[in-house]
Amino acid sequence: MTRWRKLLQIAVLLLSIVLVAPALGQERVVYGYKVINTYPHDIGFFTQGFVFHDGHLYEGSGKLGLSTLTKRTLEDPAPLMSKRMSDRYFGEGVQVVGDKILQLTWQSHIVFVYDINNFEQLGTHYNATEGWGLAYDGERLILSDGSATLRFMDPETFAPLGSLEVTLDGNPITMLNELEYIDGEVWANVWMTDYIVRIDPASGLVKSYVDLTGLSGLTQLGSSEAVLNGIAWDAEKRRLFVTGKHWANLFEIELVAQ
């Protein structure tokens, strides 16, 4: 780990303690977790997008020259379908919209649109900011870019429809990363922390959060960049899956009120 990166990591952790920890003493709902099932996950994947759709997991993996989009079953990490991104793109968040799947790129301002049935490219969109996480509320795409701002985009054209600052006790929560839309809330991994914040998409307020401290200790970590990132919700069976970059496992978890 480079020196600056370590300093950044410490700064983010301190920030998370400053911003999140005081909320513990207030009327914030904090959730712990219980592991329900453990499944294998490709430790080589730099997980940036994680979606459960129609019985399968779809994952976007990053890094220049290594970025992919894959489809797999819950039990078997061997991809049923895989698409390699061009070497010049760094893959980021993914989201299913109808029979299409979208994959962001980090800093290239391009969004790839694929046919979910065969991963054939159907088109592209322009994204003005960095691409980090992507979710869908059924009407609008929700995009994170590493800041405290979530942006709403038209699912067909990617035209901007609005934005929202995410705050906890008036403090912006930056580094919002992988996203999931669950029961009317936007859930977001906060980069380099063990926290998932649960955001009210109308106000941007973080009304509760999930503390996943200890989960990374239950799997093998493949690099110094192995951090929690990846939330996938099976709406039909109401199952919650989480994983991380360079994690050897993904977990089905249930929340436990603390």
The residues binding Ca ion (CB under 5 A) are 50, 180, 231
Among all residues, whose Cβ is closest to Ca ion? 180
DSSP character for 85?
A: P
Nearer to Ca ion, 92 or 180 (CB): 180
Nearest approach in angstroms of CB 18 to Ca ion is 27
Nearest approach in angstroms of CB 53 to Ca ion is 10
Nearest approach in angstroms of CB 179 to Ca ion is 6
What are the CA-CA distances from residue 133 to residues 32, 41, 52, 74, 164 (Å)?
23, 19, 15, 21, 15
Nearer to Ca ion, 130 or 180 (CB): 180
Phi and psi dihedrals of 13, rounded to 5? -65, -40
Region class of 66: left (phi > 0), else alpha (psi between -120 and 50), else beta: alpha
Nearest approach in angstroms of CB 180 to Ca ion is 4
- Residue 177's SS3 state is strand
Q: How far is residue 220's CA from residue 218's CA, in Å, rounded to a whole number?
A: 7
Nearer to Ca ion, 28 or 79 (CB): 79
Nearer to Ca ion, 171 or 200 (CB): 200
Nearer to Ca ion, 23 or 137 (CB): 137
Nearest approach in angstroms of CB 13 to Ca ion is 23
Q: How far is residue 96's CA from residue 22's CA, in Å, rounded to a whole number?
A: 36
